[in-house]
Amino acid sequence: MSASHSSHVKEAPYYYVPADSSHPVTASISLLVVMLGASAWVNSIEAGKWAVFAGLLGLFVVLYKWFGDAIRESEAGLNSKRIDASYRWSMSWFIFSEVMFFAAFFGALWYTRVVTMPWLGDLDHKQLLWPDFNAVWPNLGPAGVVEAFETMGPFWLPTINTALLLASGVTLTISHHALRENHRGKSMFWLFATIVLGFIFVGCQAYEYIYAYSSLNLRFDSGAYGSLFYMLTGFHGFHVLLGATMLTVILIRMLKGHFSADHHFGFEGAAWYWHFVDVVWLGLYLFVYWF
């Protein structure tokens, strides 16, 4: 996300090819350690969790150095318009992969509610297998092994979170337009406001989980509803945290004098990701909390 240049740097007239790097290999090794540690951890091997933590730490170090190299290349004027186009296409395909990721979970929610639930509640299944099952969403499942729980409605915390994310989209847009007009102070102020709103959202989401567990008995094993609720909202919360972290890095770069009114794809890439997160939340708010 660094195909951007400071205003004092001339753009390279060629397609820059970086030198050989160990980052891909070290990142792969770190991920392998994480996977092996996770396999050991789920099989009750004590050293497994420490391997997971060590692998994640190694991955963070590699990513820090890798992105640092990309930023230095950008600020040194080594990236041309061809590189900028490559970054834009790469970010676009990355966001498309995230769209497919969430589409799978939304698809699971749709399939459970529209296909599986009526099927289990039809006359044949009620007579032969599940006479006490009511095909009403949400439910405790047909087998009666799920503990009773209450659902999470849209009021008030999810609605507050919706307002927070929508407001953050507005503040980020203001920040972007200010940067394009070369009003750096204004841009940094509204970017900071966006970051604060994002982390407040994450805090509210954590409070919602505590409330759901302690007061509603809504857990990950609370049937299909509980599993889908935590998978959808949990992964979205992780994406908000990741997006807020990306925007924080962009703010730090702006404080260091990076980006100009004409060259700031690092900012734009993070903004694309943030707006994607906003749109996903609107889907969650409607189909998880309302309907």
Task: State the pLDDT at residue 135.
Answer: 82
- pLDDT of residue 1 exceeding 50, the answer is no
- Tell me what the mean pLDDT of segment 176-189 comes to: 95
Cα separation, 108 vs 112, whole angstroms? 6
What's the mean per-residue pLDDT of the chain?
90
Check residue 34 and give its pLDDT: 96
- Residue among 270, 180, 246, 265 nearest 5 (CA): 265
Q: What is the pLDDT of residues 240-290, one digit of tens each?
A: 999 999 999 999 999 999 998 888 999 999 999 999 999 999 999 999 999
Which amino acid appears at position 82 of this protein?
Answer: R
Average pLDDT over residues 188-195: 97
pLDDT, position 180:
94
Tell me how far apart the alpha carbons of residues 119 and 159 are, in angstroms, rounded to a whole number. 32
Nearest Cα to Cα of residue 221 among 113, 140, 102, 110: 140
Instruction: State the pTM of this model.
Output: 0.86
Residue 119 CA, distance from chain mean position: 33
Percent with pLDDT over 70 in the chain:
95
Taking CA atoms, 80 is separated from 10, 83, 106, in Å, by 9, 5, 39
Q: How far is residue 74 CA from its own chain's centroid? A: 25
Residue 10 pLDDT? 53
Model confidence at 181: pLDDT above 60: yes
Res 134: pLDDT = 80
Structure-token pair, residue 249? 């890095």
**Cβ atoms within 10 Å of 124's Cβ, excluding its own:** 8
Strand (E) or helix (H) holding 162: helix 157-180
Burial class (CB in 10 A: 0-12, 13-18, 19+), 70: buried
pLDDT of residue 44: 87
> What mean pLDDT do residues 169-177 have?
97
* Spatial separation of the C-alpha atoms in residues 51 and 230, rounded to whole Å: 26
- pLDDT-based confidence at 13, cuts 50/70/90? low
3-state DSSP assignment of residue 33: helix
Tell me what pLDDT residue 144 has.
76
pLDDT of the residue at 6? 43
Q: Which of 73-77, 86-90, 146-150, 198-202: highest mean pLDDT?
A: 198-202
CB 233 within 8 A of CB 284: yes
Q: Specify the pLDDT at position 11.
A: 54
List, for residues 50-92, the tens digit of each pLDDT value: 999 999 999 999 999 999 998 888 888 888 888 888 899 999 9
Q: Is the pLDDT of residue 173 over 80?
A: yes
**Minimal CA–CA distance to 78: which of 24, 2, 21, 20?**
2
Residue 159: the pLDDT is 95
